[in-house]
Amino acid sequence: MMQTLLIILVVLFAALVVLIPLIEKFSPKGEPQGYDKLSRFIFPLLALAIVLQIVAYYFL
């Protein structure tokens, strides 16, 4: 059991070490105004997700 957990953690860490530099290198460089448009939706979506989780916890 513990060996399986360690294998999973090592694989995830190795994937992070390999994938993060690749994603940073090949990701498109965004425009600052594009991030402003996206950021105004984050808090309402988080609030909706919290409300949906509360409803699912108590009523489903």
Q: Which residues of 22-49 are buried (b: 16+ CB within 10 A; e: fewer)?
A: eeeeeeeeeeeeeeeeeeeeeeeeeeee
pLDDT at 30: 64
What distance in Å separates the CA atoms of residue 18 and residue 7, rounded to the nearest whole number? 17
pTM of the full predicted structure? 0.45
pLDDT at 28: 75
Tens of pLDDT, residues 2-49: 899 899 999 999 999 999 888 888 877 766 666 777 778 889 999 999
